[in-house]
Amino acid sequence: MTTPTLSIQNLTVDIPTRHGILRPVQNVSYDIAPGEILGVVGESGAGKSMAGNAVIGLLNPPAHIASGEIHLNGIRIDHLQGDEMRRLRGKQIGMVFQDPLTSLNPLLRIGDQLTETMLAHLDISQSEARQRAIAALEEVGIPGAAERVDSYPHAFSGGMRQRVVIALALCAEPSLIIADEPTTALDVSVQAQIIALLKKLCRERGTAVMLITHDMGVIAEAADRVAVMYAGQLAELGPVREVLTAPLHPYTDGLMGSTPLASRGKDRLHQIPGAMPRLDSLPQGCAFHPRCPRTEADCKVSPGPQLIDGAACLHPIAREDVA
Amino acid sequence: MALVSIRNLTRIFDVSKPWLNRVVERRPKALLTAVSDVSFEIEERTVYALVGESGSGKSTIGKMLVGLLGPTEGAVEIRGVDLARETDAQKIDDVRADIQMIFQDPYASLNPRWRVRDIIAEPVAARGGDTKGLAEKLLEQVGLSARDAGKFPHEFSGGQRQRICIARALASEPKLIVCDEPTSALDVSVQAQVLNLMSDLKDQFGLTYLFISHDLTVVQHMADRIGVLYLGRLVEEADPDTLFDDPKHPYTQMLLAAAPQLDGFGREVAPPTGEIPDPINPPPGCAYNPRCPLAQDICRQERPHLRNVNGARVACHFVD
C-alpha cells in the first residue's frame, strides 16, 4: 500500500477563550492519496477551513492543535515550528484561497511573485525561475503568458487571477494542494474552467488536493472522495458517488435534500429544522441530534459516535432504505 | 395588465477619469453600458427571475425598478406609472409604497445600532402609520419570535437576519418585492429555509417578486419566468421548464452546461472559453459573438432582437 500524501489522525483544534475552550475541529481523521481529490463539505462554522489551516500551520493564535497527528508523505508535520514549517509551506503544500484579489500582492508583478516562491524553495537561477514562471502561467491557461508575466494583479480578471494563484500554488511542485473555496468568488462559467484546470493538473502531476467547498455540485464533479463535516466533527466520509446518492448520515441526507437541484419539480425545498449549534453550546451526545429526524434516546446521552463504516451516526440510514 | 412593464431600459454609467486627467492623457470619456435596451413584463403574483454572471446588469435593473437609480433611456412602469417621469406626486407616492427590496448581504443591510423592532417598523413609521405590535406580528410570520423585537441585529445569525430583512420588506404591505441575491450569503440548509419562507409569504400576501440571482438552481426552483442577461442585454426569456429543458440561446446553453450537477460524477465537460467582454467597449453586433460557436459575419455586424420562438423570447440570429 502506498503512503498517503496527507494523513490526519484524530486532529483536534482548540481555541481557549475567557468563557472556556471552543473546539472548532474535534477528532477528525482522514487520508488523501497521491493524485486524489478529497472534497471537504460543510456549512459555515463546520470547521472545514480550520482543518485545512491546521495542516498548513496557519492557525491564528490562540487557536492551536490540541491533539492528533498530521503526516505529510509519512513525515509528521503538526509539531513543526517557524522556519521548519515555512520551508514546507509552498514547497510541499500549496494553498489556493477563496479570494484571488487578496491572495496576490497588488504591488508586485505576477512574474516576481512566482519567481520569489520558486527561488525560496528550489535551487535554480533567476533566469531559469523566470522561464519556469512563464511556463507555469501557460500551463494554467493564461494567454500571452510571456507578455503578461510582467503585469500587475489588477490587470487580470477574477478568473485569470485565480489561475495565477493556482500557478503560484503549483510552481514549487508541491505534493499537496489545499484549495479553500477556490471558486466561490467566481461566476459559473469561470468556475467550470477553474475546476477543470484543477482536475487536469492534479491528474497529470499526481498532486493530492484537499478541496474545501460548500457547493455539493462542485464536489460531485471534482472530488473522488468526500468528507462531510458538522460542528467540527466528521459526519460522513466515503467515495463521492456513494455519499451523495445514498448518504448514511441524516445530516448529509438533509444537506443533499435542501439543495434546489435535488428538489426539482417540488413546490417546497426539503429543510433541516433549526441551525448549526454554536461551538460554545454544543448539545450533549451527537451534535446533530436536536435537528435529526432519526434521533433516539441514545443519541442524546452517549458522546458523539466515532466514524464507523463511513458515517458517525448511531442510527445511520441503511443503504437499502434509500434504493 | 402586467404589474411591472419595462420598456427599452438602458442605463449608462460615466466611469471616466476626472476632467483634468482626461485632458492631460488625451483620453475620451469612458461610458459603461450596464443595461442596454431591455424590455420585459412581470405579471401580478408571479416570480420573475433575472439570471446572469457578474457584470450582466441584473442588479442595476433591480435598482432602477425600485427607483434607486434613474434610467438613462426607456421606462419602468409600475401599474402604469412611470416613476421617473410622472409629475403627480400623489401617484408616485402610492406606487412607491407598493415596492420593497431585500438585499444580498444581511450583515450590511441592517443598522447595527437600531433594535429589530425599529428596523422592521421603519417603512411604516416613515409614512406616519401605526406601528404598535407590528414588528412582533411580522417576526412571528417570518419564523422568529416576538421577543426578538427588542434585540439588536448582531444577536442573530445570517439566516435569521435575512428573515428580519424580509419582515421589514413586508411591513408596508407591498405588492412587489425586488430580491437581489437574497440567499447568496447563506448556507444551503438555511437557504432552503429562506426560500421556502419566501414562497409561503408570496402565496399568503399575494406578492410579486423580481428575483435576482446568479444561481441557476435557485432560479429554477423559484421562478415562473426567467430572463437571462448577458452584458446588460436580455438574451433569452422563458418559463423554467422550457429554459432548462430546451435552452435556445448559445449563451444559455453554455451556462447550463457549465453549472455543476449533483449527479455529474467525474463529469468531463469542455469548460467554456473566454470571459464576459469589457462593457465599456462591447463587441459590435451580438455581445456573445466572440465566445459563440455559431458566430457568423452577421453576428459581428447586427445586434439580434428578441424574437418569439415556441413560448420563449430569444435574441439570436440563428434560432428559429
List chain B domain ranges.
4-98+174-261+274-314
Cβ distance of A217 and B259 shorter than 8 Å: yes
For strands A37-41 and A225-230, give the pairing: parallel
Cβ distance of B258 and A192 shorter than 8 Å: yes
Within 10 angstroms of residue A214's Cβ, the number of other Cβ atoms is: 18
ipTM for the complex? 0.79
Partners of residue A267 in chain B, C-beta under 8 Å? 199
Cβ distance of A269 and B196 shorter than 8 Å: yes
What percentage of residues in chain B have a pLDDT greater than 90?
51
Tell me the residues of chain B between 48 and 67 that have a Cβ less than 8 Å away from chain A: 53-54
pLDDT of amino acid B185: 79
Cell of A212: 474545501
Contact B48, B213 (CB under 8 A): no
pLDDT of amino acid A308: 67
Cell of B109: 443591510
Contact A142, A163 (CB under 8 A): yes
Element (H, E) at B61: helix B58-66
More confident residue, B176 or A297: B176
- Of the candidates A279, A313, A277, the one whose C-alpha atom is nearest the C-alpha of residue A293 is A313
Partners of residue B220 in chain A, C-beta under 8 Å? 260, 264
Residue matched to cell numbers 435574441:
B315
pLDDT of amino acid A320: 58
User: Which chain A residue shows the shortest CA-CA distance from B251?
Assistant: A189
Q: Where are the domains of chain A?
A: 1-33+42-92+208-323
Give me the mean pLDDT over the B72-78 stretch.
92
What's the Cα-to-Cα distance from A210 to each of A156, A192, B69, rounded to whole Å? 26, 18, 44
pLDDT bin (cut points 50, 70, 90) of residue B164 is very high
More confident residue, B277 or B208: B208
Contact B59, B212 (CB under 8 A): yes
Interface of A with B (CB under 8 A): 43-44, 157-160, 187-193, 195-197, 214-218, 220-221, 240-241, 244-245, 254-256, 258-264, 267-272, 275
pLDDT of amino acid B236: 94
Q: What is the pLDDT of residues B110-130, one digit of tens each?
A: 999 999 999 999 999 988 888
Contact A7, A70 (CB under 8 A): yes
Q: What is the mean pLDDT of each run of 10 residues along chain A (323 residues)?
A: 84 90 89 92 86 88 90 88 84 86 88 90 90 89 85 85 88 89 82 86 88 88 92 91 89 86 72 82 85 85 72 79 46
Task: Indicate the residue of B195, B260, B266 with minimum beta-carbon distance to A269.
Answer: B195
Contact A110, A142 (CB under 8 A): no
d(CA B238, CA A36): 41
**Amino acid, res. B288:** Y
Distance (Å) from the C-alpha of residue B305 to the closest C-alpha of chain A? 24
Task: Indicate the residue of B187, B216, B265 with minimum beta-carbon distance to A43.
Answer: B187
The terminus-to-terminus CA distance of chain B in angstroms comes to: 28
pLDDT of amino acid B127: 85
Angle at B70 between CA B302 and CA B45, to 5 degrees: 85
B65 φ/ψ angles, rounded to the nearest 5 degrees: -65, -40
The terminus-to-terminus CA distance of chain A in angstroms comes to: 33
- Of the candidates A245, A238, A239, A263, the one whose C-alpha atom is nearest the C-alpha of residue A319 is A245
Buried b (16+ CB within 10 A) or exposed e, A72-99: beeeebbebeeeebeebbbbbbbbbbbb
The secondary structure of B166-181 as a DSSP string is HHHHHHT--SEEEEES
User: Which chain A residue shows the shortest CA-CA distance from B291?
Assistant: A189
Tell me chain B's radius of gyration from C-alpha atoms.
21
Give the homologous superfamily in CATH for domain A1-33+42-92+208-323.
P-loop containing nucleotide triphosphate hydrolases (3.40.50.300)
**Is B133 an 8 Å CB contact of chain A?**
no
The yes/no answer on whether domain B4-98+174-261+274-314 falls in CATH 3.30.300.130 is no
More confident residue, A194 or B250: B250
Tell me the residues of chain B between 84 and 113 that have a Cβ less than 8 Å away from chain A: none
Cell of B101: 427590496
Task: Indicate the residue of A192, A218, A263 with minimum beta-carbon distance to B221.
Answer: A263
More confident residue, A145 or B226: B226
pLDDT of amino acid A264: 66
Partners of residue B192 in chain A, C-beta under 8 Å? 258-260, 269-272
Within 10 angstroms of residue A267's Cβ, the number of other Cβ atoms is: 9
Q: What is the pLDDT of residues B39-57, one digit of tens each?
A: 999 999 999 999 988 888 8
pLDDT at residue B170 is higher than 50? yes
Cβ distance of A189 and B255 shorter than 8 Å: yes
Partners of residue B266 in chain A, C-beta under 8 Å? 221
Average pLDDT over all residues of chain B = 89
Residue matched to cell numbers 437574497:
B182
Contact A264, A321 (CB under 8 A): no
Buried b (16+ CB within 10 A) or exposed e, A46-67: bbbbbbbbbbbbebeeebebee
- Of the candidates A210, A117, A221, A98, the one whose C-alpha atom is nearest the C-alpha of residue A161 is A98
Contact B241, A197 (CB under 8 A): no
Listed range (A75-84, A265-274, B7-16, B182-191) with the worst mean pLDDT: A265-274
pLDDT of amino acid A323: 40
Contact B61, B42 (CB under 8 A): no
pLDDT of amino acid B184: 83
Cβ distance of B188 and A192 shorter than 8 Å: no
